[in-house]
Amino acid sequence: MSSDEQRRTRADASADAEETADATDTGADQVADAEPEVEGGAEERAGRSSAGPPGWLVPASAAFALAAFVVAAVFAVMWWVASGSDDAEVAGAREDVVRAAGNAVTALTELDYENPDAYFERQKTLATDELRKTIEQSEKSYRDAIAKAKTKVVSTVQDVAVEELNVHEGKASALATVSLDVTQGDKQSTKALRLELQLTRVDENGEQVWKLANMGEVPVVGTGQ
């Protein structure tokens, strides 16, 4: 090989080495420039992943919250229905007591000496077993007194108020005001009574009914006393 050829060979080798070095530097620069972008993307992904629960957990959490709300709503409705049922039961029992007390007042105060059987039969029908026995024991003496005095009484119940009511025990008390138009022979008079009644709920032919357990007159106190 001549000296000229050797020089050309060395020049070509040197040029190739420079190109290789430039390519290496260029690749390194590109890698260096790309690294911040990779780091920035990782940070962005990390930020997105730490902002809340995993995506698959969000629907489950919402479902649990909805289920808890539904359960609370159901229990609230059940409580409201039960409360309403209790109120309705008490209101119904109060009406029954008022009606039974009014009927009892009429049965024990309204009479016709010409038909004493109906008078005593009404009392026995509306009375508890214990009170009915008491009525039967005194019936004979009352019959004689009514017939002798030739008494007729027309009763007008003016008001009935429930004082106490225990639905669970079946006990109640009431106050009643009644006006009596009394006729004895050729004499007539009007009298007002204030009565206190004790009632008991009993089973009668499979039904729960209120019966009169006791009744007494309550003294009317004048306004000047």
pLDDT at 90: 84
CA distance 126 to 158: 19
Rounded to whole angstroms, what are the CA distances from 224 to 38, 195, 220, 221? 103, 21, 12, 8
Choose the weakest-confidence range: 26-35, 49-58, 133-142, 146-155.
26-35
Query: Residue 60 has what pLDDT?
Result: 58
Interatomic CA distance for residues 103 and 28, integer angstroms: 111
Q: Which of 5-9, 52-56, 137-141, 175-179 has the highest mean pLDDT?
A: 175-179
The rounded Cα 189 to chain-centroid distance in angstroms is 51
Can you give the pLDDT at residue 40? 47
Of 65-69, 79-83, 85-89, 133-137, which gets the smallest average pLDDT?
79-83
Domain 87-217 has CATH 2.60.450.10: no
Q: What is the pLDDT of residue 89?
A: 81
pLDDT, residue 31, reads: 42
pTM given for the model: 0.61
HSE of 154 in the Cβ direction (CA atoms, 13 Å)? 5
Of 45-54, 113-122, 128-137, the poorest mean pLDDT is in 45-54
**pLDDT confidence of residue 28:** 45
**What pLDDT is recorded for position 34?**
46
**pLDDT band per the 50, 70, 90 thresholds, residue 127:** very high
The domain locations on the chain are: 87-217
Task: Show the tokens assigned to 105.
Answer: 């007042």
Q: How far is CA 88 from CA 85, 92, 117, 162, 170, in A?
A: 5, 6, 39, 16, 16
**Pairing, β 151-166 against β 187-204:** unpaired
- How far apart, in whole angstroms, are the C-alpha atoms of residue 162 and residue 95? 9
Express each pLDDT in 69-87 by its tens digit: 666 666 666 655 555 556 7
Do 131 and 212 touch, CB atoms closer than 8 A? Answer: yes
Q: How far apart are CA 176 and CA 166, in angstroms?
A: 19
